[in-house]
Structure 1
């Protein structure tokens, strides 16, 4: 598949898979991981992203992250595209990228570095060197509002850069950079802040969006995608209103609830999600009750023992 063709494959829902941890030991539940990936594939998710932020990437050791990438590639076995999340220091990120390519990942998603001191030219160099280190396509995860979009304009001409997951919720800024990057660069713009923001991003030029909701309610995510692609505004906003309270819950505490809401909801539905690792704590009683009520309002039958706990 050419880089241009792969870029087109990103015009969809990119499912950010979760990493299930056992309660107590907080070791990875590899059987649970397989269940969750099969769930995504069986429900029509075509792009799966292990080691994203909803996967608790920064709570994984480098060894665990590599093992997760390898196992997801094996589980998927060509039935969807696997985009491996990579990051940390330049040396480590290149090692991740080359490992992902070696084990059969279809592309890599480069996290914005978690670093207290970042310069525009330094970030451009960091990203370029990672992109150049492998033959598989790269997607940038761009989420630091303090960094100029000049970085994206500088890198967009690279053939192997096929997508930008834009996660800065500044719609005029996003629309401007979409307009400034020539279409012949074949970069697919992806809304990086899920269903809540997807309609706004699509209006400004996005062609796909990432989702954590797919881990428990893929039908709703795919319903929104179809409506956006067909410009069915009535359905778009009906779905948006339905999922908004859930996404608002995830956004609480400066997005601290992002992963734990997904995991709690999955457990209530009988899916295998497990607990979160520190620095994320379990849900408080009030937020958990909101999750219960939301799932019931969506018509789900909950596991009684989970609700009672």
Structure 2
């Protein structure tokens, strides 16, 4: 059962939504307990929301049974200290099943992945989200939009589905983000920057607050420093802090962004919080030269942000 009200989750979305990795053992089986120190460190640093079954969780590389097990385990490990979002997606039936399972596990809201189906219609996406809302009655929904190809009218219709409390905007289109915010101002939605730390200042300038982060698995205090600067409208400090993290993000962007989770999991291994390998089609392991760069970088970043 959820421990936070929809309004409490809505407020928390103004902060950092930390997307948790999915730990695997050497036999490629999930080992959720390895998340315990990562979750404790993130919450201790002040991260506002945690998310199971997001993209940094390798959601599309997980079996359905694994996604259900991960949201159940995450709910137990978070233990009501911060709101927990459970990601749902893929086929509408699977999304509805996982929505119901996430609600039963104690998730405080659902994060609805944008369907990657090549034959998506605008009205079909609206029907898709409505079905998910019906599968977990009373549980708030956060839309995860990676592109705006369905059009602004459909985005507005999605926002007006009862139970939707926020949108994670993961498209590098700040003018369209500002337009979406303008169209739905009467709803008091949480508009969250979905492209992590590097795009957070741009998202804030367009009217969003808060941002998603996979970095919190490794260096949550760095993410928190960036968030604090943005909340204080100190864009100069935010840019300085982000520049310190750029080499890390550049490593994640290698191999057509296929090293995104690879770098996070490799960093965790180097920090004695091993969460195993990533699954194909992600890039694993890191290229030797990139690995050496990461080792040097981690040594420089593990001090306080400045």
Q: Which TM-score band applies after superposition, normalised by the shorter structure?
A: over 0.9
Aligned-pair CA distance for 1:282: 1.3
Aligned-pair CA distance for 1:2: 4.6
Query: Residue 8 of structure 1 is aligned with which of 3, 8, 11?
Result: 11
> Which secondary structure state, in structure 2, belongs to the residue aligned with residue 253 of structure 1?
coil
Structure-2 residue corresponding to 1:100: 102
1:291 equivalenced with 2:298 (yes/no) = no
In 1, Cα distance between the equivalents of 2:107 and 2:33? Answer: 20
Aligned-pair CA distance for 1:145: 4.3
Structure-1 residue corresponding to 2:281: 279
> Which secondary structure state, in structure 2, belongs to the residue aligned with residue 200 of structure 1?
helix
In 2, Cα distance between the equivalents of 1:299 and 1:162? Answer: 35
My pick for the range that moved more, 32-41 or 86-95, is 32-41
TM-score by length of 1: 0.92
In 1, Cα distance between the equivalents of 2:219 and 2:211? Answer: 15
My pick for the range that moved more, 60-69 or 244-253, is 244-253
My pick for the range that moved more, 31-40 or 99-108, is 31-40
Structure-1 residue corresponding to 2:190: 188
Equivalences, count: 298
In 2, Cα distance between the equivalents of 1:192 and 1:285? Answer: 30
Structure-2 residue corresponding to 1:59: 61
My pick for the range that moved more, 126-135 or 61-70, is 126-135
Query: Residue 175 of structure 1 is aligned with which of 178, 202, 205?
Result: 178
Aligned-pair CA distance for 1:227: 0.7
Query: Residue 230 of structure 1 is aligned with which of 232, 247, 252?
Result: 232
In 2, Cα distance between the equivalents of 1:3 and 1:33? Answer: 26
TM-score by length of 2: 0.93
Query: Residue 260 of structure 1 is aligned with which of 246, 259, 262?
Result: 262
Q: Please, which runs of 5 or more residues in structure 1 have no aligned partner?
A: 301-309
Aligned-pair CA distance for 1:38: 2.3
> Which secondary structure state, in structure 2, belongs to the residue aligned with residue 162 of structure 1?
strand
My pick for the range that moved more, 157-166 or 69-78, is 157-166
Aligned-pair CA distance for 1:41: 2.0
Summarize the Cα distance change of 1:186–1:2 in structure 2 as closer, same or farther, 3 Å threshold.
Answer: farther
Q: Please, which runs of 5 or more residues in structure 2 have no aligned partner?
A: none
> Which secondary structure state, in structure 2, belongs to the residue aligned with residue 83 of structure 1?
strand
> Which secondary structure state, in structure 2, belongs to the residue aligned with residue 254 of structure 1?
coil
My pick for the range that moved more, 86-95 or 31-40, is 31-40
Aligned-pair CA distance for 1:150: 2.2
In 1, Cα distance between the equivalents of 2:248 and 2:183? Answer: 34
In 2, Cα distance between the equivalents of 1:2 and 1:211? Answer: 23
In 1, Cα distance between the equivalents of 2:101 and 2:277? Answer: 28
Summarize the Cα distance change of 1:5–1:158 in structure 2 as closer, same or farther, 3 Å threshold.
Answer: farther
Provide, for residues 100-148 of structure 1, a one-character-per-residue CA deviation record: whole Å limited to 9, x for no partner. Answer: 1112110010111121211111111111221233211000111134332
Query: Residue 86 of structure 1 is aligned with which of 85, 88, 111?
Result: 88
My pick for the range that moved more, 100-109 or 155-164, is 155-164
Structure-2 residue corresponding to 1:205: 207
1:114 equivalenced with 2:134 (yes/no) = no
Q: 1:7, 1:186 within 8 Å by CA — same for their partners in 2?
A: no
1:150 equivalenced with 2:153 (yes/no) = yes
Q: 1:3, 1:159 within 8 Å by CA — same for their partners in 2?
A: no
Q: 2:143, 2:166 within 8 Å by CA — same for their partners in 1?
A: yes
Structure-2 residue corresponding to 1:129: 131
In 2, Cα distance between the equivalents of 1:208 and 1:122? Answer: 29
Aligned-pair CA distance for 1:157: 2.4
My pick for the range that moved more, 262-271 or 189-198, is 262-271
